Amino acid sequence: MPQLDPSVWPTQLFWLILSFSILYLIIWRVALPRIGEVLEARQRKLDDDLKKATALKEEAEAILAEYEKMRADAQASAHEELRAAHDALKEEAERETQALAAKLNSQTEEAEARIAAAKSSALASLEGTVSEVVVAATEKLIGVKAGEQEVTRVVGQVMGDQTRGGGS
């Protein structure tokens, strides 16, 4: 085998050094710059993507903050509207309660006046009947005929005392 013959080694070494040197120059001048450009392009793309991601993240955070603020404002507004509606309903209920109380007081006063008038009317009509009964009872029980005017006066006096609070 000729590769193992030491007499041809110097020429083989020469061609080995020459071919590796040419290969090194080609790689150094052609392949490495292209690889460097590809790496730089990839790095630029990564940097741009990171910048875009950062910008999008900041935008998303701003939108989220705005959303949270709008939600808090809406919630506060809803609470305020509910409180206002509650207050309005409470005031309306109080007005209606006062109106009903006034109406009931008025009806109570009217009923008391009607009762008093009916009582007076009943007592007035009762006074004549009581006088007649007293005259008839005294005549039957003791056999004495009492004077109608005197009996009417006494019955009126007794009934007047009862209506003023002297009796039940």
Per-residue pLDDT reduced to its tens digit, 103-162: 999 999 999 999 988 888 887 777 778 878 888 888 888 877 777 778 788 878 887 776
Cα 54 to Cα 62: distance, rounded to the nearest angstrom: 12
Q: How many CA atoms lie within 13 A of 134 on its CB side?
A: 18
Q: Which residues of 100-131 are buried (b: 16+ CB within 10 A; e: fewer)?
A: eeeeeeeeeeeeeeeeeeeeeeeeeeebeebb
Could you tell me if residue 4 is inside a domain? no
Higher pLDDT, 28 or 125: 28
Does residue 1 sit within a domain?
A: no
Would you say residue 82 lies in a domain? Answer: yes
Q: How far apart are CA 45 and CA 39, in angstroms?
A: 10
DSSP calls for 74-139? HHHHHHHHHHHHHHHHHHHHHHHHHHHHHHHHHHHHHHHHHHHHHHHHHHHHHHHHHHHHHHHHHH
Query: Domain for residue 3, yes or no?
Result: no
Number of compact structural domains in the chain:
1
Domain assignment of residue 143, given as a range? 10-166
pLDDT at 164: 64
| H or E element, residue 66 | helix 32-141
Condensed to tens digits (0 to 9), the pLDDT of residues 54-107 reads 999 999 999 999 999 999 999 999 999 999 999 999 999 999 999 999 999 999
Whole-Å CA distances, 145 to 37, 79, 150, 151:
149, 88, 11, 10
In the predicted model, is pLDDT for residue 163 greater than 70? Answer: no
What pLDDT is recorded for position 15?
Answer: 93
pLDDT of 168 above 60: no
Position 114 in a domain: yes
Predicted confidence at residue 165, as pLDDT, reads 57
